[in-house]
Chains A and B, each alone.
Chain A
Amino acid sequence: MIYKILLTIWMAVIIVAAFLYTEAATGFPGQTSRILFFHVPQAWVATFSFLLSMIASCMYLAKRHVKTDYLALAAAELGFLFCILATVTGSVFAKATWGSFWNWDPRQTSIIILLMIYGAYFALRSGVPDPERKRVFAGVYSILAFATVPFLVFVVPRITASLHPENTMNPANPGMDAKTLTVFLGSLFAYSGLFVWMLRLRIRILSIEGLKEPKFVNREPDTK
Chain B
Amino acid sequence: MFAVSTLIAVSFCIGSYRIEEAERPFLYSVLLWIILTFSALSGLARSFVKEEEAGTIDVLKLSARPQAIFLGKLLFNLTLLGALELIIVPSFILLMAYQINFPGLFIAMIISGGLGLAAGTTIIAAMIARASARGALFSALSFPLLLPLMITAIKGCERAAVGIDTAGWPEVKIAVAYFVIMITMSLFLFPLVWEE
Contact = CB atoms under 8 A, between A and B. Distances in A.
A223 interface: yes
Given A140-B123, A140-B193, A147-B185, A222 B132 contact: yes
Contacts of B123: 140, 144
A128 B185 contact: no
A17 interface: no
Chain A: interface residue count, which band?
20 to 34
A137 B192 CA distance: 8
A140 B189 contact: yes
Interface in A101-138: 113, 116-117, 119-120, 123-124, 127-130, 132-133, 136-137
B196 A133 contact: yes
A139 B189 CA distance: 9
A117 B140 contact: no
Interface string B22-43: 0000000000000000000000
Chain B: interface residue count, which band?
20 to 34
Contacts, number: 92
Interface string A144-161: 110110011011101100
Contacts of A123: 137, 140-141
Nearest to B139: A120
B150 to A, nearest CB: 10
- Which of A61, A116, A148 has the most C-beta atoms of chain B within 10 angstroms of its own C-beta? A148
Contact of A140 (B147, B182, B192): B192
Nearest to A149: B148
Contact of A151 (B155, B178, B185): B178
Given A124-B141, A127-B137, A223 B147 contact: no
B131 to A, nearest CB: 4
Contacts of A152: 148
A223 B61 CA distance: 15
Given A119-B140, A124-B141, A143 B189 contact: yes
Interface string B163-187: 0000000000010011001100110
A141 B130 CA distance: 14
A116 B146 CA distance: 11
B144 interface: yes
A114 to B, nearest CB: 8
A59 to B, nearest CB: 13
B133 interface: yes
Given A132-B196, A136-B193, A144-B145, A127 B152 contact: no
B149 interface: yes
A117 B146 CA distance: 10
B151 interface: yes
Nearest to B146: A148
Contacts of A119: 140, 144
Contacts of A141: 124, 127, 141
B145 to A, nearest CB: 5
A117 B145 contact: yes
Contact of B189 (A117, A124, A132, A144): A144
Nearest to A132: B196
Contacts of A222: 130, 132
Nearest to B57: A223
A156 B154 CA distance: 13
B143 interface: yes
6 contacts: A61-B192, A130-B130, A136-B193, A144-B185, A148-B148, A154-B174
Sorted nearest first, the 5 A-B pairs with minimum C-beta distance are: A151-B148, A117-B144, A116-B144, A127-B131, A140-B189
Interface of B: 52, 123-124, 127-128, 130-133, 137, 140-141, 143-145, 147-149, 151-152, 155, 174, 177-178, 181-182, 185-186, 189, 192-193, 196
Given A123-B141, A137-B193, A148-B145, 4 more contacts: A113-B147, A124-B140, A141-B127, A148-B178
